[in-house]
Amino acid sequence: MSLTGVLRPGHVSIRVLDLPAALTHYVDRLGLIESDRDEQGRVYLKGWDERDWFSVVLREADAPGMDYMGFKVDSPATLDRLAGRLREFGCKVERIPAGELKHCGERVRFDSPTGHSFELYAQKDYLGTAMGLQNPDPWHEECLKGMQVQRFDHCLLYGDDLDGTVKLFTEVLGFHISENVMDGELRIGCFLTCGMKAHDLAIIRHPEKNRFHHASFMLGTWEDVLRAADIIGRFKIPLDIGPTRHGITRGRTIYFFDPSGNRNEVFSGDYTYYPDYEPIRWTADSLGGAIFYHDQALNERFLTVVT
Ligand SMILES: [Fe+2]
């Protein structure tokens, strides 16, 4: 259901230092499915319940981090309309031809006041799931690998001009604010949604531009989050924090790092957001519980380690 013309987060391109090590992590441990590679050496992955061809692109590079995050829009007409509005807002807008990423139509790339690169696209090839669309089973043996990640869900990004990027996403792209974190009248965190999830993008105020905090993947249940914790222990994956619950969005979560130092989250559960909802407000004096509800305290690494 598109409430804004922007359907959902569709992909994230993540830089990794060592592609084979990254593939062991993202395919064998998280359970993403490799769906293609290209002549640039990029590898395309998807979750078992995702129908489009890919949602994660891994690119080998000298430094970890996020290249860009892409959102799917509901039509080529919406893509053109939003490209124009992004230009009017003052974004640097680049149209990337269809096929530059395999299986993906034309992309409209734009920068943001926090220094991050985002994209919109209207078309991506259909790959489908192992269950299919006719009389589908609820799951298939292909789904049972590693943490059994169902799909890419959202990113959390750090940057300086938080209010500028919030203005861009709300006024130009029609996102809604589900939750704000306030220090007095200064907004220090914002959770944004383009549909009915509690968040599709989160941004935290931070002195530097263009920092990547985490990419998050959805699991089915809290039990699956605990199973992910077992896999983290078994394969000695560096743990950040969890399993725990967020006050913000209510997600049940665990954070850990890929072999390049990029933070990942797997989580289950949030709430249904409706566009007539007023934003939830968190105050700085309750920040511990807002982030980690069980401990009611923050972990310094969670606040400061970004790629
Ligand atoms: Fe998250």
Closest to 242 in 3D by CA, of 293, 203, 197, 282: 293
Distance 301 CA to ligand 1 centre (A): 15
pLDDT the model gives residue 130:
95
Residue 225 C-alpha from the chain's centroid = 17
Q: Rounded mean pLDDT of 187-211?
A: 96
CA–CA gap between residue 35 and residue 151 (Å, rounded) = 14
Distance 247 CA to ligand 1 centre (A): 12
Compute the distance from residue 32 Cα to the ligand 1 centre, in Å: 18
Residue 127 confidence (pLDDT) above 60: yes
As a whole number, the mean pLDDT across the chain is 95
Per-residue pLDDT of 79-123, as tens digits, reads 999 999 999 999 999 999 999 999 999 999 999 999 999 999 999
299 band by pLDDT with thresholds 50, 70 and 90: confident
What digits encode the pLDDT tens for the residues 245-261?
998 999 999 999 999 99
Q: For the chain, which domains are there?
A: 6-125+150-304 (3.10.180.10)
Q: Indicate whether 229 pLDDT > 70.
A: yes
Residues 6+ apart with CB under 8 A from 300: none
Residue 181 CA to ligand 1 centre (angstroms): 15
Which tens digit of pLDDT belongs to each residue from 6-31? 999 999 999 999 999 999 999 999 99
pLDDT of residue 3: 59
Catalytic residues: 154, 199, 214, 246, 255, 265
Whole-model pTM: value is: 0.96
